[in-house]
Amino acid sequence: MSAPSGLVIAIDGPSGSGKSSTSRGVATRLGLRYLDTGAMYRAMTWWMLRAGVDPTDPVAVAARVGEPLIEAGTDPLGPTIAVDGIDVVRAIRTDEVTGSVSPVSAVAEVRARLLGLQRTIIAAAPGGIVVEGRDIGSVVAPDAPVKVYLTADPSARAVRRAAEEGGSDVAATEESLLARDRIDSGRAASPLVMAEGAVHIDTTPYSLDEVIDLVVGLVKEAGA
């Protein structure tokens, strides 16, 4: 696999740590493309559910992994995601998909397929791209000159995620976030870890603009 030629900014961390808003803000500020790899795992999960595949059966999931055509758009002002030509921007955010995405993401064959797609998209963004996920700095783009690991207090994460989801119950959202963290961090294939060389930012005390400023500062410091 060829190394991406443009600037890659890797942003990893658990759900609700502010990754998406920060990544889109940094990309917009610096005129870069933006890739949400979580949306790709969600799109794969959406397809599996629709195809009647049990998301908790890794053998069944692995057998179908090559079938869906997943297309992710990289405009930070309007990221798109489609499966077999169907716009799934909203459909991938339902509780059903959210509840099944961790076991699907833990399947090695799913990760291998999406890794290939992610590297192709990164290579096609020669002007540079901000990529968010769980394994960007460790696996997808280990040579990225800027790697950030975002975290936040679980309660702050749940409040943000519930607001994003249009006012879901905060306690239930926190429980679901922590359950996904446990699976995402404990899985054998590319677990959520802080990559070597990553800068850790706990976003709890900061506003979104302040976090974007911090990351843009890191990019400038790296001379990237």
Tokens of 11: 């942003």
Length of the chain: 224
Radius of gyration over alpha carbons of the chain, in Å?
16
The site that binds ligand DC (CB under 6 A) totals a number of residues, namely 13
Closest to ligand DC by CB, 56 vs 217, is 56
- Read off φ and ψ for residue 127, nearest 5 degrees: -75, -10
The single residue among 17, 105, 138, 173 that binds ligand DC, judged by CB under 6 A, is 105
Contact 76, 11 (CB under 8 A): no
In the chain the beta strands, taken as DSSP E runs, fall at 8-12, 33-36, 70-72, 81-83, 86-87, 129-133, 146-151, 199-202
Residues 117 to 156 in contact with ligand DC, rule: CB under 6 A: 133-135
Binding track, positions 48-87, relative to ligand DC; x by CB under 6 A:
----------------------------------------
The 3-class SS string of 68-96 reads CCEEECCCCCCCCEEECCEECCCHHHCHH
- Using CB under 6 A as the binding rule, whether residue 24 contacts ligand DC is answered as no
The single residue among 23, 24, 41, 198 that binds ligand DC, judged by CB under 6 A, is 41
Closest to ligand DC by CB, 153 vs 164, is 164
Residues 153 to 212 in contact with ligand DC, rule: CB under 6 A: 180, 184
Q: How far is the CB of 98 from ligand DC (least distance, A)?
A: 7
Helix (H) or strand (E) holding 221: helix 208-221
Nearest 5°: CA angle at 118, between 62 and 7? 160
- Using CB under 6 A as the binding rule, whether residue 107 contacts ligand DC is answered as no
Closest to ligand DC by CB, 169 vs 221, is 169
Q: How far is the CB of 46 from ligand DC (least distance, A)?
A: 11
Characterize the bridge pairing of strands 81-83 and 146-151.
unpaired
Closest to ligand DC by CB, 7 vs 180, is 180
Closest to ligand DC by CB, 181 vs 220, is 181
The CA-based diameter of the chain, rounded to the nearest angstrom, is 49
Q: How far is the CB of 78 from ligand DC (least distance, A)?
A: 17
Burial, 16: exposed, middle or buried (Cβ in 10 Å; 0-12, 13-18, 19+)? buried
Binding site for ligand DC (CB under 6 A): 15, 37-38, 41-42, 101-102, 105, 133-135, 180, 184
